[in-house]
Amino acid sequence: MRTNGYLYYPTSATAPTFNDDGVPVTTSQHGWSDAVPCHIRTVSSTSNGRYEDGTFHQASFEVLTERNTVPLDTQKVKLERSGKTLGEFQVQGMPEEISLDRIKIVV
């Protein structure tokens, strides 16, 4: 598969730590996964959005990636193409398998 960008999905790790009294306290660290190679296709992109104090950019993308590289229950992704971050997006619906080893994610 030809790739033109990278996809990141949220991860969280819980690491036990101890407070001053020696009592274990769990802390949760949220971050992003390692870069997952993918093919990003722009479905729509417009800068015509306006609100009282300015404007906003609205876009949607289709992302193709290899199977078993992204959890199928992920709700949010971060996209990067040509060294530029496109943004963080909510996944629209469940990722679907489109061929033997590929899944499509619509954001």
Q: Is 77 exposed, middle or buried (0-12, 13-18, 19+ CB in 10 A)?
A: buried
Q: CA-to-CA distance for 107 and 102, rounded, in angstroms? A: 16
Range of the domain at 69: 5-16+25-106
Q: Which residue has the tokens 């489109």?
A: 98
User: Which residue type is seen at 70?
Assistant: V
Q: CA-to-CA distance for 94 and 57, rounded, in angstroms? A: 24
- Interval 28-45: pLDDT, tens: 667 899 999 999 999 988
Q: Which residue ranges in the chain fall short of pLDDT 70?
A: 13-16, 26-29
Question: By three-state DSSP, how is residue 65 classified?
Answer: strand
Q: How many domains does the chain have?
A: 1
**Single pTM value for the model:** 0.76
